[in-house]
């Protein structure tokens, strides 16, 4: 069953006028391709919360096996494609405009799967009806974005506030099995931001995460000194890896590309 969301006034995203045609054409071609995809990012946030803000691109999510198909589809129609990081993201370009093709989290630990497509949320964006990333997966996609220049914790809190009844909390916990502490961070963050709305997050989830924290506190420190900070921000924890002797769990180069190059 499809959840049809209200259409979004695309002008509120303040795209450059010359970019609008690219977005319109891109979404039309994505639908035409027949390859399953989900629109996420700022557009999904607007659909779930009504919050709009300027954005420079589109975030298109798909399964890893479908990413080459989408990139190839656009390449065959004269667009330039770029594999920014084989583990999670590619781009489709037309002049200086682009959209992201995302098939994994930047941590390379949570790929997009069929589960992301089980709940159908649809909205009209730039004149095309497209499927939107469901609330559960939207939250999942934002948990690790904690950078000096970008922190998406507010997006997580707002979607939990507005869509908590539609979030699959068990699946969210399972998906964060390896990095459950990050989920706990956002649970505590939400409880602090909305002290009167704590019941939005199931008590069993809070109890489970606290039990894990207590069990972990009784364990000795690992022999290998590691820094997981670069899962949040590759650039903000370079010193830890390059000079302070911590092992890196990210596997990215010390010189990380951040600027968007045409």
Q: Based on the domain organization, do 4 and 98 belong to the same domain?
A: yes
Residue 97 lies in a domain: yes
Residue 144 lies in a domain: no
Q: Based on the domain organization, do 215 and 227 belong to the same domain?
A: no
Which range scores top for mean pLDDT: 95-99, 108-112, 165-169, 222-226? Answer: 165-169
Q: Based on the domain organization, do 65 and 192 belong to the same domain?
A: no
Measured CA to CA, the distance from residue 87 to residue 110 in angstroms comes to 10
Residue 14 lies in a domain: yes
Residue 259 lies in a domain: no
Residue 258 lies in a domain: no
Residue 112 lies in a domain: yes
- For the cut 90, the answer to whether the pLDDT of residue 175 exceeds it is yes
- Domain with 94, as residue range(s), is 1-133
pTM above 0.75, yes or no: yes
Q: Based on the domain organization, do 234 and 125 belong to the same domain?
A: no
Q: Based on the domain organization, do 233 and 215 belong to the same domain?
A: no
Residue 257 lies in a domain: no
Inter-residue contact 36 to 117 (CB < 8 Å): yes
Measured CA to CA, the distance from residue 256 to residue 9 in angstroms comes to 35
For the chain, the domain total comes to 3
Q: Based on the domain organization, do 165 and 115 belong to the same domain?
A: no
Q: Based on the domain organization, do 12 and 112 belong to the same domain?
A: yes
Measured CA to CA, the distance from residue 194 to residue 40 in angstroms comes to 25
Measured CA to CA, the distance from residue 65 to residue 78 in angstroms comes to 22
pLDDT at 14: 76
Q: Based on the domain organization, do 79 and 173 belong to the same domain?
A: no
Q: Based on the domain organization, do 23 and 123 belong to the same domain?
A: yes
DSSP SS3 for 87: coil
pLDDT at 260: 42
Q: Based on the domain organization, do 92 and 204 belong to the same domain?
A: no
pLDDT at 259: 42
**Section 177-182 average pLDDT:** 97
Give the orientation angle of helix 41-49 with respect to helix 153-163, to 10 degrees.
Answer: 40
Q: Based on the domain organization, do 51 and 116 belong to the same domain?
A: yes
């Amino acid at each position: 069953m499809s959840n049809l969301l209200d259409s979004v006034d695309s002008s509120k995203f303040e795209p450059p006028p010359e970019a609008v045609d690219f977005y319109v054409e891109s979404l039309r071609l994505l639908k035409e391709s027949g390859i399953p995809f989900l629109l996420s990012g700022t557009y999904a946030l607007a659909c779930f919360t009504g919050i709009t803000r300027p954005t420079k691109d589109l975030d298109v999510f798909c399964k890893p096996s479908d990413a080459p198909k989408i990139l190839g589809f656009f390449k065959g129609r004269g667009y330039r494609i770029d594999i920014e990081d084989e583990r999670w993201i590619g781009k489709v370009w037309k002049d200086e405009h682009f959209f992201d093709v995302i098939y994994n989290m930047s941590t390379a630990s949570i790929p997009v799967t069929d589960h992301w497509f089980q709940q159908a949320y649809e909205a009209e964006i730039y004149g095309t009806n497209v499927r939107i990333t469901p609330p559960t997966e939207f939250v999942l996609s934002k948990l690790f974005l904690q950078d000096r220049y970008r922190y998406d914790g507010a997006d997580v809190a707002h979607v939990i506030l507005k869509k908590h009844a539609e979030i699959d909390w068990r699946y969210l916990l399972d998906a964060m099995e390896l990095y459950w502490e990050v989920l706990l961070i956002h649970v505590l963050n939400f409880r602090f931001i909305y002290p009167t709305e704590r019941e939005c997050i199931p008590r069993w989830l809070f109890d489970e995460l606290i039990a894990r924290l207590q069990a972990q506190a009784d364990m000795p420190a690992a022999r290998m000194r590691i820094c997981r900070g670069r899962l949040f921000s590759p650039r903000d924890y370079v010193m830890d890896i390059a000079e302070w002797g911590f092992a890196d769990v990210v596997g990215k180069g010390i010189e990380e590309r951040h600027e968007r190059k045409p």
